[in-house]
Structure 1
Amino acid sequence: MGDAFVVDVEEEKKEILRRYRRLLRRAKPFLKDDDAKIIRKAFFTAAEAHKDMRRKTGEPYIYHPIEVAYICVAEIGLGTTSIVSALLHDVVEDTDWSLGDVEREFGVKVMRIIDGLTKISGVPGESMSEQAENFRKMLLTLSKDTRVILIKLADRLHNMRTLESMQRHKQLKIASETFYLYAPLAHRLGLYAIKTELEDLSMKYREADEYNYIAKKINDTKEERSRFIRNFIRPVQKTINEQGYKVEIKGRPKSIYSIATKMKKQNVPFEEVYDLFAIRIIIDVEEENEKAACWHVYSIVTDNYTPNPDRLRDWISIPKANSYESLHTTVMTNKGQWVEVQIRTRRMDDIAEKGYAAHWKYKDGASSGESSLDLWIASVRESLEQNDISAIEFVDDFRSNLFQEEVYAFTPKGKLITLPNGSCALDFAFDIHTEVGGCCIGAKINKKLVSLNTKIKNGDQVEILTSSKQRPNEGWLKYVITSKAIASIKDYLKEEKKKAASEGKEIVLRKLKQIKLDLNNDTINRMIAYFGSESPLDFFYEVGKGKIDPKEIKKISDVKEEKKHKRKHSDQPNEVAHATKKAKEANDNPLILGEDMDMVDYKFANCCKPIPGDDVFGFVTVSDGIKIHRTSCPNATELMSNYGYRIIKAKWTSQQEIAFLAGIKVVGTDRLGMINDITQIISNDLKVNMRSMSIDTDNGIFEGSVMVYVDDTSHLETMIDKLGSINGIERAYRFDLYED
């Protein structure tokens, strides 16, 4: 395998040892007893097991486990067991080592962690995706040993850092999966530094142009920013020193991804994103004096600069659910610029950067109660134990609970309950206990009677009212948002459905006996086809609930054999596999868009309306051929994460005769003749067909949306440039049709 590379074996051996020694140096401060020996044994075991393997870059494979172990120590703050597990994390999957060998040589703890990190075997079935199943398996071990997830994040981070050498479609799939699942997970575990890097690296591959543009801008303004930060810090530092505090003050630019998100959300160019960087003040102080010190430093900052009263965030009094503590304020400098200032202690900073591992380190045996992070992990365990939910459904539920901001409410006795933002009284009831949720009929919020779906606001006091006659119903799913409530309601409804279905089945058996038919697959298929039910369970349920009249059942004996209706979904895996195979055979190279469509049947996705020049990929649907999506489409991340095996590379052919619909927004100050100038450029100068145009003017501000037919992205850019040069127009930009 290594023949294609010219390899200097001696130099490589030296490099492997250099990397290993760097890892040991970093781990040295906390090594006890035989730790160094065990790490050495793991290193030599891994080096031997992987000795003939190389990564896509041509480098020896062993570099990867060493780097993952280094990230575990240096960036997450994990100890010996994790280093050993990280060094060995691929031996069971990629070499002839078994879990039994690992347990014999390194003990049961390491074996369990590696088992959690090893992918499950088997083919993705009809309703599950391999990736979702792997993710779920990993989370099952999270609830037993958090180190599994932390090592997995280190593994993913190193893969993202070395994604350069992978093929484009693999880069897209891995980057999407990272953005969809691993970045939110790092966020939830309080690993802000890793979360930020994963988001940035993911964007680097998913939206390369925008990433490179912002990266260049940040770099170009570096000098100016450093000067600004120095001037900002000077007066504050002086007063802090006089008060006797020992602090570190640093300015750091916001991440590329968060700047891009702001630009999109607020529709502003890079120059107008007002908080491009934050100033962080880290105080060295004993834990018992932390709160007072942070507020004291806050008062020093606001003596020098005027704060924005709406932008104060106090996560010291009530930390976030992932244990993040900090005081954030935004202040106005004497140059008229807003700057975000974050004030925290060394301990808080450690927890913010290293997340769960640091939180563990500081957690004292005597600390009162469980932290919100431990409670969250307990709730993950609980939702995992309700095991009959499909993997993808589970991952979606889980994911929706990762990034949510929190809302804080109290029980009548004053106990603090933390819920995701947007939760309602019913979510609160289920959070107290599934039984309380199941029989909840209403609530009192701040002593006032409210309905179940009333949203909870910060600081509300909530009392739940119950009735022994109440039962969950389908309608409840429309307004609960916590995974505990969703899972409990679905479980109840499934049980109810099974009960009704078994009654229905009894009725069907009696009816079939009368017309002398057996209950077998053939009969069931005929009944499903005749009554248009989704599945056997649905059919029996509809009979049980009286939605299907049992008398009608005898009519199925008239249905001819050949009319057996083949259900779409029973064929799904085969159809998908067939379509994927056909598409890949037709073009082992990328699918070329705009050429002979007889080769492969494809359509353009309505959700993102791709046009030639956009970065695109093909997705094999179950019943509608191949759909072409933009890589920046809002649905793309989910498709690539959950159904990576259905993704096909696609690119545009140069000779394009078709016109594509695109949207352009123009913003500026209104004046006479403005519309005429816009239509003149579109229709006469550029000879482009316009489908529609809508204009809003408000107090002299002009905003227009124009839908035009263009050939490709460069055609669209020419038009945007020309429109932007019209007198009075401040900005012209493409908008995504799915936003409207």
Structure 2
Amino acid sequence: MAVKELKLGEILEELEGKYPDKRELIHQAYEYISEKHKEQLRKSGEPYVTHPLHVARILAELNMDATTVVAGLLHDVLEDTDATYEEVEKLFGKDVADIVEGVTKIGKIRFKNLKEAQAENFRKLILATAKDIRVVIVKLADRLHNMRTLHYLRRDKRVRIAEETLEVYAPIAHRLGIWEIKRNLEDLSFKYLYPKEYERVRSFVSQSLEDLEVYLKKFVIPKIKEEIAKAGIKAEITYRPKHLYSIWQKTIRKNISLEEVHDLLGVRIIVDTVQECYIVLGIIHSLFKPVPGKFKDYISLPKPNLYQSLHTTVVAPKGRMVELQIRTWEMHLRAEKGIAAHWAYKEGKVRAHDEEIFSWLRDLVENIQGSKNPVELLDNLKRELFSEEVFVFTPKGDLIVLPVGATPIDFAYHIHTEVGNHCAGAKVNGRIVPLNYRLQSGDQVEIITSPNKKPNLDWLKFVVTSKAKNRIKHYIKQQERESFIANGKRLFEKAREALNLSSEDFLAKLRTKVRFKDEEEVYIALGSGKLTINKVINLLSPKKKASAEKAKGENRSRVSMDGLEGVMYEVGGCCNPVPGDEIYGVVTKGKGIVLHEKNCSNLKYLIQHFPEKVFRVRMKPEGKFKTRIRVKARDRIGILSEIAKNIAERGSNIWESSTKTMGDGTAFMDFTIDVTNKKHLREVMRSIKSVEGVEACSRLYS
């Protein structure tokens, strides 16, 4: 896409000449923006109208329809002038107005930080694309012209815009297959973000190109032309240097020097038919030795944006490696213009046979819906936009394209959510493989399902597609919700009975104290521990609260102990002893006697340093006593609610709980519970150990 300086009148004449049927509409749009932007100037000092004209010209070079070109002319009027959507719709039609409004919405987004800005921009761009892809194509043209004039801005703004361009717009141009825009955006961003590296690569390429051109013209292209002509094939052979950013990225990716980059110039051979592509490939491989592993057939297996070509690298004379691309004219147009080459509008609708081109886009929109966190969204989209693909097959031979690193679980969710949710195993090429097996191109994949199989949290450690991640998370959340509701209903009845109220009265009273939408929300709050029975009783029955506090005070402040009747005491929070433990009292100033369990580290210290203050006591149980336990388990869906249920079924209440899950899937759950004595505590702990996945349950000392 050569950048040629033209006067405004020349650009307008060029646009009107390219779209003769819409000459009047284009001229009307130009007069409209000239009036609306008449008082505005660019940072360069030029009239503002130069910008929308250049944007429209870029769109025309992409062979976009006249509606898109007119929208390009008008793309800033809603944001920067007093123009309204209704006015634009009345003068230029609904399609134009909708595109301009879509571009305006993208441009108006403002964010707290760059990370969030990138993520949200991705979301806006992709979702806008889902409605009308022309919105994004106009935005890409807008960004390209802004990048071409970026030198007029302050350095900090240049860096910010270039960074956003490289992170947001260039990958979308890549995914849409608009190679020319991607190339320009990347090189311009490279220039402003890494000026020293840019100049080094530019200087090296400019010095190397002349020698490479001479080499290709002398040793490679004449031989190919001669043999192709003998085969009676009409072909155009050209060469073009790789763009600077891609050369620099290759040196980083492969950890090589610029001198080791052998494919600065790529040879392109364009023929009329697919059959001729393969004939030319055979001719080239007969002339030069192909480099193993460097042949890719994107004709049989197109990229998701429908890019097609044969790629091969050969060893030419003097041992130099040369990269060649072979394609038809139709493929060439698609490679240069990308998805823009496929859009032919009639009354605003895409042709039916072009529908398949955008299937990846609908999947992308669906896949990002579950990403709420900006960083997670950005990571998901980068994975979707940048990742290489593997090509695998269903047992029936249907082709499935997945990112590199995809597993049978990713494959299963790609087929259908229910297949993923009930995936029990997988066969690859007829052999059973683990679910974290990394699929390879050419694999035939068969998913084994079972109605009893459910998604596992461990799956999130190895799946790579955002669709699989979101479906697994959704299922787990749904299962937890159902578990919370079931547990909450049981606790609801327990609280209601304690207050001796009917369900209706209980809910009515609770509604005056706690905000909730419906009964189910109450169950979830109770089942998840956000709302405890004790809190409910305290809220709804102050008398019961007062009597409970009184009883608690009596129980906690005075107790009968052998040899010491009615002495003030306090239970040590470090070990929380219960009746039945081997308990020692420590005389403490201001607190009376503090009770410790024999294994308590604080007690051992006191015995060592103040033995005269320590003596053996025996508690006579009255009521319940709080103590703390720790559970070690393999984390899985619903395990927390099962443990809570078992605790409750043994007549114990949970006062506090916390859970921490480690990287290897091990969960540590700490509970503060009440028990009557040590025997009761053992029963509760034994019940907890019976839960599937629980590896250990022990007393917790601080």
Q: 1:19 Cα deviation (Å)?
A: 2.5
Q: Is it true that 1:240 corresponds to 2:228 in the alignment?
A: yes
- Corresponding residue to 2:315 among 315, 332, 352: 332
Please list the CA deviations of residues 546-584 of structure 1 after superposition, one character each: whole Å capped at 9, or x if unmatched: 5799946489xxxxxxxxxxxxxxxxxxxxxxxxxxxxx
SS of corresponding position for 2:75: coil
- Corresponding residue to 1:112 among 98, 108, 113: 98
Q: Is it true that 1:407 corresponds to 2:378 in the alignment?
A: no
Q: Bigger relative contact order, structure 1 or 2, given CA contacts below 8 A and separation 6+? A: 1
SS of corresponding position for 1:118: helix
Task: Give the match for residue 274 of structure 1.
Answer: 262
Which ranges of structure 2 fall in alignment gaps of 5 or more residues?
Answer: 1-5, 485-520, 542-627, 629-637, 658-702
- Corresponding residue to 2:79 among 93, 116, 134: 93
Q: 1:356 Cα deviation (Å)?
A: 0.4
Q: Is it true that 1:136 corresponds to 2:128 in the alignment?
A: no
Alignment of 1:126-525 (within 5 A): 129-231=116-218, 232-283=220-271, 285=272, 290-360=273-343, 371=356, 373-383=357-367, 386=369, 389-499=372-482, 502=521, 503=523, 505-506=525-526, 508-516=531-539
SS of corresponding position for 1:515: helix
Task: Give the match for residue 72 of structure 1.
Answer: 59
Matched letter for residue 376 of structure 1 = W
Q: Which has the larger radius of gyration?
A: 2
The separation in 2 between residues aligned to 1:546 and 1:88, in whole angstroms, is 63
Matched letter for residue 54 of structure 1 = L
Task: Give the match for residue 552 of structure 2.
Answer: none
Matched letter for residue 513 of structure 1 = V
The separation in 1 between residues aligned to 2:39 and 2:56, in whole angstroms, is 20
Seen in structure 2, the aligned counterparts of structure 1 residues 494 and 112 have a Cα distance that, compared at 3 Å, is farther
Seen in structure 2, the aligned counterparts of structure 1 residues 489 and 115 have a Cα distance that, compared at 3 Å, is farther
Over the residues paired in the alignment, what is the CA RMSD in angstroms? Answer: 3.0
Q: Mean alpha-carbon deviation: is it higher for 65-74 or for 231-240?
A: 231-240
The separation in 2 between residues aligned to 1:554 and 1:516, in whole angstroms, is 18
Q: 1:545 Cα deviation (Å)?
A: 6.7
The answer to whether the 8 Å contact 1:181/1:399 transfers is no
The answer to whether the 8 Å contact 1:252/1:279 transfers is yes
SS of corresponding position for 1:252: strand
The separation in 1 between residues aligned to 2:321 and 2:143, in whole angstroms, is 35
Q: Is it true that 1:17 corresponds to 2:37 in the alignment?
A: no
The separation in 1 between residues aligned to 2:419 and 2:639, in whole angstroms, is 29
Q: 1:136 Cα deviation (Å)?
A: 1.6
Q: 1:377 Cα deviation (Å)?
A: 1.4
Please list the CA deviations of residues 444-468 of structure 1 after superposition, one character each: whole Å capped at 9, or x if unmatched: 1112122222111111111111122
The separation in 1 between residues aligned to 2:100 and 2:373, in whole angstroms, is 24
The separation in 2 between residues aligned to 1:265 and 1:458, in whole angstroms, is 22
Please list the CA deviations of residues 273-318 of structure 1 after superposition, one character each: whole Å capped at 9, or x if unmatched: 12221111111x2xxxx22101111122223222213211111111
The answer to whether the 8 Å contact 2:52/2:75 transfers is yes
Seen in structure 2, the aligned counterparts of structure 1 residues 499 and 173 have a Cα distance that, compared at 3 Å, is farther
Q: Is it true that 1:57 corresponds to 2:44 in the alignment?
A: yes
Matched letter for residue 248 of structure 1 = E
Percent identity reads: 41
The answer to whether the 8 Å contact 1:409/1:462 transfers is yes
Matched letter for residue 270 of structure 1 = L
Matched letter for residue 20 of structure 1 = L
SS of corresponding position for 1:119: helix
The separation in 2 between residues aligned to 1:301 and 1:17, in whole angstroms, is 48
The separation in 2 between residues aligned to 1:277 and 1:158, in whole angstroms, is 26
- TM-score, length-normalised on structure 2? 0.67
Seen in structure 2, the aligned counterparts of structure 1 residues 512 and 24 have a Cα distance that, compared at 3 Å, is same
The separation in 2 between residues aligned to 1:271 and 1:451, in whole angstroms, is 43
SS of corresponding position for 2:386: coil
Matched letter for residue 86 of structure 1 = G
Please list the CA deviations of residues 456-506 of structure 1 after superposition, one character each: whole Å capped at 9, or x if unmatched: 111111111112222223222111111211222222233344455654512
The separation in 2 between residues aligned to 1:206 and 1:161, in whole angstroms, is 14
The separation in 2 between residues aligned to 1:183 and 1:498, in whole angstroms, is 41
Which ranges of structure 1 fall in alignment gaps of 5 or more residues?
Answer: 1-13, 519-530, 532-540, 556-740
Seen in structure 2, the aligned counterparts of structure 1 residues 442 and 83 have a Cα distance that, compared at 3 Å, is same
Matched letter for residue 364 of structure 2 = V
SS of corresponding position for 2:319: coil
The answer to whether the 8 Å contact 2:178/2:340 transfers is no
- TM-score, length-normalised on structure 1? 0.64
Task: Give the match for residue 40 of structure 1.
Answer: 27
